[in-house]
DNA sequence: TGCGATCCCCTAAATGCTTTAGGCAAATGC
DNA sequence: GCATTTGCCTAAAGCATTTAGGGGATCGCA
């Protein structure tokens, strides 16, 4: 009996592919075992349980997203940076809907603190350096940007904006214009 | 053997309570049967399958949300209406996290078209009558509001804003100020 | 090269959720 | 009071999760 060469890394990566292809809720150890032509119990040498797999996919997605965002932000500032950052988010979600769903998984606090989610928050704050905001408004703005990006992508992905005029592409562009205008003119308390 | 008095209505309602108490992903026919002290197979006389239950909970949540929103909007306009509407959304999600999660379920197009989601969209548009927006900007704004509300509530619920200053309450209030300012001053193309 | 230790994947089995098929008894209507 | 309908049942199959324990492959080291 030759070995299949399973590792946690390979399993998580394959799980991420499975999520993108079939949906995050279709990610099961059984499906994963089938993909490697291996018995389900064998996976338990590499994963604590099925939740462990899902968490792994979430962490992978957060890493990938943060890497892309860092690339996109390099050398940009102001509205340019805002747009590039937002597009990374949206494009990633559309290319990898399963991974994106995983990234929205609720992680326990210490796992979250050790995840690339932290890098993400720092980058969002970096974007705001191009605008004239001081604390606590900067934090309010960080939260609002997160909400808009996540909310938009999530609604778009679930089909909320399809089959209606104007198309989502245009709205997205106008929403970014609006956010830029808002940040340049953030209302005082 | 006396009958338990099951109906689709009662099952869906109990399913919604279960969702709020234990989380939407804990809503199973088995758990529901336990709650009614009945065998699982008996539920199939009232529900097509477990997806049918989940859809039912989603539709219930959309109805309740739309009812609350309609109440909140009565007699209000402008920023008042915006704030009341947004708070309905946020409060509902915090009171009924399971139902709220259900409301975010992807429904098939015809079910969605027949749902209270439609009323919701109409109400969002009604709020914008207090601002000076014409098509297609009105549609862009509707989508943006939906994104912010859903995104904020969703991030807040998953713990994104807890354990950090300033508290979420204040950010929420400032985000509504910001949206109001933005709508009063929507950037031209 | 040989050998012991470790690792990888296996079989087996328990538990739980979903779904279908078919049956009996309670409620309903005439 | 009887036939029909309805509501809940038993039974069984399928699939996912998880644990326990075993044997063969592989690796480190003498």
Q: What is the pLDDT of residue B189?
A: 80
* Nearest residue in A to B147, CA atom: A151
C-alpha dihedral over A151, A154, A160, A164, to 10 degrees?
80
Q: What is the pLDDT of residue B20?
A: 96
Phi/psi of residue A130, nearest 5 degrees:
-75, -5
Residue A40 has pLDDT above 70, yes or no: yes
Residue nearest to nucleotide C19 (CA to C1'): B49
Tell me the average pLDDT across B92-96. 96
Q: What is the pLDDT of residue B1?
A: 56
A80-122 pLDDT, tens per residue? Answer: 999 999 999 999 999 999 999 999 988 888 898 899 989 999 9
With respect to residue B2, please indicate whether it lies within any of the assigned structural domains: no
Residue nearest to nucleotide D11 (CA to C1'): B41
Across the interface, do A177 and B185 touch by the CB < 8 Å criterion?
no
Q: Residue B30, CB, less than 7 Å from strand C?
A: yes
Average pLDDT, chain B: 92
Cα–Cα distance measured from residue B181 to residue B5, given in angstroms and rounded to the nearest whole number: 53
Nucleotides in chain C with any atom closer than 7 Å to protein CB: 7-13, 16-22, 25-27
With respect to residue A189, please indicate whether it lies within any of the assigned structural domains: no
Phi/psi of residue B17, nearest 5 degrees:
-65, -45
What are the residue ranges of helices labelled H in A7-96?
8-22, 29-36, 40-43, 50-73, 78-95
The single residue listed with the structure tokens 């199973």 is: B28
Q: What is the pLDDT of residue A100?
A: 96
Residue B124 has pLDDT above 70, yes or no: yes
Q: Which of B111, B110, B143, B113 is nearest to B125 (CA)?
A: B143
Query: What pTM value is reported for the model?
Result: 0.89
Q: What is the pLDDT of residue B160?
A: 77
Range of the domain at A123: 8-184
Residue A1 has pLDDT above 60, yes or no: no
Rg (CA), chain A: 19
Residue A50 has pLDDT above 80, yes or no: yes
Cα–Cα distance measured from residue A123 to residue A100, given in angstroms and rounded to the nearest whole number: 18
A148-163 pLDDT, tens per residue? Answer: 999 999 999 887 787 7
**Residue B99 near residue B66, CB atoms below 8 Å:** no
Q: Which of residues 5-44 of A touch strand C (CB under 7 A)?
A: 5-7, 38-39, 41-42, 44
Across the interface, do B166 and A136 touch by the CB < 8 Å criterion?
yes
Contacts of A186 in chain B (CB under 8 A): 178
With respect to residue A3, please indicate whether it lies within any of the assigned structural domains: no
Tell me the average pLDDT across B173-185. 96
Secondary structure class of A44 (helix, strand, coil)? coil
Q: What is the pLDDT of residue A163?
A: 76
Nearest nucleotide, CA A42 to C1': C9
With respect to residue B170, please indicate whether it lies within any of the assigned structural domains: yes
A56-69 pLDDT, tens per residue? Answer: 999 999 999 999 99
Task: Give the distance, in angstroms, between residue A107 CA and nucleotide D30 C1'.
Answer: 48
Neighbouring CB atoms inside 10 A of A2's CB total 4
Q: What is the pLDDT of residue B188?
A: 86
For residues A78 and B2, which has the higher predicted lDDT (pLDDT)? A78
Total structural domains in chain A? 1
Residue A18's CATH number: 1.10.357.10
With respect to residue A102, please indicate whether it lies within any of the assigned structural domains: yes
Average pLDDT, chain A: 92
Residue A2 has pLDDT above 80, yes or no: no
pLDDT level of residue A55 (50, 70, 90 thresholds): very high
* Nearest residue in A to B167, CA atom: A140
Tell me the average pLDDT across B128-133. 92
Residue A3 has pLDDT above 70, yes or no: no
Tell me the average pLDDT across B30-46. 93
Q: Which residues touch strand D (CB under 7 A)?
A: A 1-3, 28-31, 40-41, 44, 49-51; B 1, 3-7, 38-39, 41-42, 44-46
């Amino acid at each position: 009996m030759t070995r299949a060469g399973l590792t946690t890394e390979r399993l998580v990566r394959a799980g991420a592919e499975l999520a993108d292809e079939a949906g995050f809720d279709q990610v099961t150890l059984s499906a994963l075992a089938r993909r490697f032509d291996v018995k389900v119990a064998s996976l338990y040498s590499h994963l604590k349980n099925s939740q462990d797999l899902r968490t792994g996919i979430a962490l992978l997605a957060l890493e990938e997203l943060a890497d892309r965002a860092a690339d996109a932000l390099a050398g940009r500032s102001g509205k340019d940076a805002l747009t590039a950052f937002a597009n990374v988010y949206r494009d990633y979600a559309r290319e990898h809907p399963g991974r994106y769903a995983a990234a929205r998984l609720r992680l326990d606090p210490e796992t979250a603190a050790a995840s690339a989610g932290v890098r993400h928050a720092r980058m969002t704050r970096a974007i705001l350096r191009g605008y004239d905001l001081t604390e606590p408004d900067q934090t309010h703005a960080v939260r609002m940007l997160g909400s808009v990006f996540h909310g938009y992508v999530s609604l778009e992905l679930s089909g909320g904006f399809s089959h209606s005029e104007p198309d989502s592409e245009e709205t997205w562009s106008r929403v970014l214009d609006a956010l830029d205008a808002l940040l340049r003119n953030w209302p005082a308390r």
